[in-house]
Amino acid sequence: MLFTRVLAVALALIAAAARANDPLPALGADPHAVTVSGVSSGGYMAVQFNVAHSSVVTGAGVLAAGPYYCAQGSVVTAYFNCMTPGTWTPLPGIEQLRAQTEVLARARSIDPTDNLAAARVWLFSGTGDRTVDPSVVDALRGFYARYGVPTAIVARRRLNAKDHPRNSAALAAGLAKDGVDVRLGVEPTAVEAGAGPAGAHVVRLSDGSAVTGHEILLAVGRVAPLDGLGLETIGVALHDGRVRPDDQLRVAEDVFVAGDAAGPEMHTHLAHYQGEMVARIALGDDVRPDFRAVPRATYTDPETAGVGMTGEEARRAGLDAFEESIDLATSAKGYVADAGGHCTVVVDRGSRTIVGAFIAGPGASEAIHLAVLAVKIRTPLAVLADTITAFPTTSRVLGTAFTAALATLGR
Ligand SMILES: Cc1cc2nc3c(=O)[nH]c(=O)nc-3n(C[C@H](O)[C@H](O)[C@H](O)COP(=O)(O)OP(=O)(O)OC[C@H]3O[C@@H](n4cnc5c(N)ncnc54)[C@H](O)[C@@H]3O)c2cc1C
């Protein structure tokens, strides 16, 4: 019996050896399009593999993992700094990791890092992930960005010109830090197709300088086109292609508008809000939409967010308004996240409430909601300044702005 089993195993091994010599079946894989993906520790492995073998691995899909060489050979660093960084266990600086990566590349221990400019990289993080903090994935994005394709942004005025000037400045600084060539206050005057090095297009600018690139992205804005839909047949009047809703979003008898076509701004959350309003109004509720506290968020690095009016807009609206601003870089949150930015509040001296708030920095799109509610229900500044916010968060820096504004206003 035992002999039979041994024989069977031996025969199986011989058969396996024979199969090992057989040519592998054609899988139809393109050897020039190999990417590697992974989750968590597998994500770290995918990054290591991509960076180390960038001449053959042309991209990486990474979920919940951080930059190359993060652990630097230490299990403790891997477990704390590279998963849930904190005040005493910060993520290693990206420049430091990049310098170490260059040392390895120069020693030919890994492939030349020039290849990374062409890498296709997909990064994912869960905002509620407590095992691998989303800031770890942000750092990975920064790591890859430093090897990125040279990018230039040309803007006539400032970036995101409708946002608060401090948000625009923080965004320009963040992009410049990531190596983006930001040209402000100029506009393109001509494009010379394929006239640059290696067939790049040359874009001539109004100040006499030029930028080059193989791809040109033109941001022209968007409108909700209503012409030609036949809306006049149901009694809807268009003015320059737009509707003029009344204070209940009504555009004709029993006809309502919601979303981008309604204005005053274009956001998904505003479309939802208006949709719900319209349904209630149509069913007979005596309600009216309130657009004073519409949150705005831009999901860049750093994130920017805002609500209500800037100081200038408030003064133009006849309010006796001033702004109070706190530099995020000098706050505990700025230190922990190695981030710059600001929290600014706009105070109406008359009502002693805030009529606007603007944030650039980590989690700005979440932190703004404290101010959204305050603008909406006209919370007294004294109450806002007396509200406890968790340390160290961006919300807390906003709380500091409330306290500083109350000091300026006088108790
Ligand atoms: C690239 C991009 C990124 C964005 N990111 C954000 C974001 O992060 N956060 C945010 O708040 N907002 C964002 N927005 C804005 C947001 O998408 C819009 O404000 C929101 O979708 C508006 O909702 P809506 O219902 O008015 O229009 P839509 O969502 O555009 O819906 C209109 C629908 O009507 C259909 N349609 C058009 N014409 C006709 C026709 N003749 N007949 C039948 N159907 C038609 C369209 O196909 C579409 O499905 C983004 C917009 C863009 C373009």
Tens digits of per-residue pLDDT, 393-410? Answer: 999 999 999 999 999 999
Q: Does domain 152-213 have CATH number 3.50.50.60?
A: yes
The best mutation among 267, 273, 300, 369 to test binding of ligand 1, ranked by most ligand atoms within 8 Å of the C-beta, falls on 267
- Report the percentage of the chain scoring pLDDT > 90: 76
Beta strands in 249-376 (DSSP E): 250-252, 255-256, 296-298, 304-308, 321-327, 342-348, 353-360
Q: What is the mean pLDDT of residues 275-288?
A: 98
Q: Look at the block and give the residue holding tokens 């600014």.
A: 344
Predicted confidence (pLDDT) per residue in 170-203, tens digit? 999 999 988 889 999 999 999 999 998 878 899 9
DSSP notation for 57-75? EEEEEEES---TT-STT-H
Above 60 in pLDDT, residue 165?
yes
- CATH topology identical between 152-213 and 296-409: no
CA distance 327 to 402: 13
The protein residue whose alpha carbon is closest to atom 25 in ligand 1 is: 259
At 10, the pLDDT band (50, 70, 90 cuts) reads very low
DSSP letter at 242? B
Q: What is the distance in A from the centroid of ligand 1 to the CA of 64?
A: 30
CATH number of 296-409: 3.30.390.30
Nearest atom of ligand 1 to the alpha carbon of 275: 25
In degrees, rounded to 5, the angle at the alpha carbon of residue 70 between the alpha carbons of residues 69 and 73 is: 70
Give residue 89 CA to ligand 1 midpoint distance, Å: 43
Over the range 164-174, which residues count as b (16 or more CB within 10 Å of their CB) and which as e?
Answer: bbbbbbbbbbb
Pairing of strands 296-298, 304-308: antiparallel
Average pLDDT over residues 75-86: 94
- The string of pLDDT tens digits covering residues 240-265 is 999 999 999 999 999 999 999 999 99
Q: What are phi and psi of 224, to 5 degrees?
A: -95, 105
C-alpha span between 342 and 165 (Å, rounded) = 11
To test the ligand 1 pocket, which listed residue (260, 274, 300, 304) has its Cβ within 8 A of the most ligand atoms?
A: 260
Spans of all domains in the chain: 34-145, 152-213, 231-282, 296-409
Q: Where are the beta strands (DSSP E) in 91-205?
A: 120-124, 152-155, 181-184, 188-192, 201-205
Residue nearest to atom 26 of ligand 1 (CA): 259
pLDDT band at 41; cut points 50, 70, 90: very high
Counting atoms of ligand 1 from 1, which one is nearest the CA of 266?
19
Mean pLDDT of 104-123: 91
pLDDT above 60: residue 3: no
Q: Please check the confidence at residue 326 and state whether its pLDDT lies above 80.
A: yes
- Centroid of ligand 1 to alpha carbon of 223 (angstroms): 10
346 or 227, higher pLDDT: 346
DSSP code, position 50: H
- CA 46 – ligand 1 centroid, Å: 35
Q: Distance from the CA of 295 to the center of ligand 1, in angstroms?
A: 17
Ligand 1 mean position, distance from CA 299 (Å): 17
**What global pTM score does this model have?**
0.74
Query: Which pLDDT score is estimated for 16?
Result: 52
**Cα distance between residue 59 and residue 35, in whole Å:** 5
pLDDT of 7: 40
Q: Which of 243, 266, 276, 368 to mutate to test the pocket of ligand 1 (most atoms within 8 A of CB)?
A: 266
Q: C-alpha 362: how far from its chain's center?
A: 10
- Across the range 227-236, mean pLDDT stands at 94
- Nearest Cα residue to atom 44 of ligand 1: 229
Residues having CB within 6 Å of any atom of ligand 1: 229, 259-260, 266-269, 271
